[in-house]
Amino acid sequence: MIHVNLLPVEYRKTESTPVGRFLAIVVGAVLVTSTLVAYGYVHYSELKGIREVRASVEAEFANKQAQAQMAQALKNEIAAYQTRRKAIQKIASARILQSRKLDEFLDIVHNGNDPTQYFVWLSKLDVKPGRAKRRGKAQAGGSWAFSGWAETTEFSRVTNFRDTLRKDAFFDDFASISQPNFKAVTWDDGLEPSEAGSFNYGMTLKPLGWQKNAKAKK
């Protein structure tokens, strides 16, 4: 059956929205609103916190990376110093420290200013340094040659000086010492002393690096 509404539009009864469509609109509005609320919460709250955490982690990582680079630089510097120290030790083990030997030698000459065994003074000291190993030849430690005077013409006083040299730790670096070359001298010029004994010695140093070789043989 066909119904025709002949009333003017303004007098016609308004048709209501179907329940199903209304529910769909409400549900859709709720979903959109919830989505917008969730997006705002995540974007303005959670995401902001995450960004702050990320920035903090990145800053800490950059700091740790800088510290790691500094630590590596210090490690490389320590390694360089250790290499240099070993090189210096190797060079030192293969040479005689003449200044130290001279100090030890002069202590023996002075003898604590005790003239009971000997009383000598030097007039000349000639030190020849060692030579490094070349063309398969053995290393030479060098030599010492010195001359001087004893306060007496007694030959035993000069031999006492020689014996003291040989027994002292100073002589460990030396291979040999010559026999005493002694000559008694007297003067009649009225000055003191009126007599003395001149002497001279020669000493040969052990080959360079003998300490290292001695330790290797043990």
Per-residue pLDDT of the chain (218 residues; tens, 9 = 90+): 566 656 566 656 555 566 666 677 767 777 777 777 676 666 666 666 777 778 888 888 888 888 888 989 888 989 888 888 877 766 655 556 778 889 999 999 999 888 888 999 999 999 988 766 666 555 667 899 999 999 888 898 899 999 999 999 999 989 999 998 899 988 888 877 788 999 999 999 888 776 666 555 55
* pTM, 2 dp: 0.53
Tokens of 135: 């063309």
Query: At which of 75, 93, 111 does a domain end?
Result: 93
Query: At which of 40, 66, 93 does a domain end?
Result: 93
CA distances, 189 to each of 47, 70, 110, 185, 193 (Å):
111, 77, 27, 13, 10
71 in the same domain as 120: no
120 in the same domain as 12: no
φ/ψ of 144, rounded to 5, equals: -120, 140
191 in the same domain as 112: yes
| Contact (Cβ atoms closer than 8 angstroms) between residue 92 and residue 85 | no
How many domains, the chain? 2
212 in the same domain as 106: yes
Tokens of 11: 């007098």
Tokens of 161: 């000086």
List the beta strands (DSSP E) in 104-216: 120-128, 143-150, 174-177, 181-186, 195-205
Name the nearest CA neighbour of 206 among 142, 145, 146. 142
| Contact (Cβ atoms closer than 8 angstroms) between residue 141 and residue 166 | no
152 in the same domain as 71: no
| Contact (Cβ atoms closer than 8 angstroms) between residue 199 and residue 182 | yes
Tokens of 188: 């009649």
170 in the same domain as 114: yes
**Residue 205 DSSP label:** E
- The 10 Å CB-count burial string (b at 16+, else e) for 78-115 is eeeeeeeeeeeeeeeebebeeeebeebbeebbebeeee
pLDDT given at position 59? 84
pLDDT given at position 25? 74
78 in the same domain as 109: no
| Contact (Cβ atoms closer than 8 angstroms) between residue 209 and residue 93 | yes
78 in the same domain as 126: no
pLDDT given at position 53? 76
| Contact (Cβ atoms closer than 8 angstroms) between residue 212 and residue 141 | no
- Summarize pLDDT for 168-218 with one digit per residue, the tens: 999 998 999 999 889 998 888 887 778 899 999 999 988 877 666 655 555
What is the CATH classification number for the domain harbouring 113? 3.30.70
pLDDT given at position 47? 64
70 in the same domain as 102: no
Query: At which of 74, 93, 112 does a domain end?
Result: 93
112 in the same domain as 54: no
43 in the same domain as 105: no
pLDDT given at position 58? 84
Tokens of 136: 């398969």
pLDDT given at position 16? 59
> What domain range is 4 assigned to?
1-93
121 in the same domain as 20: no
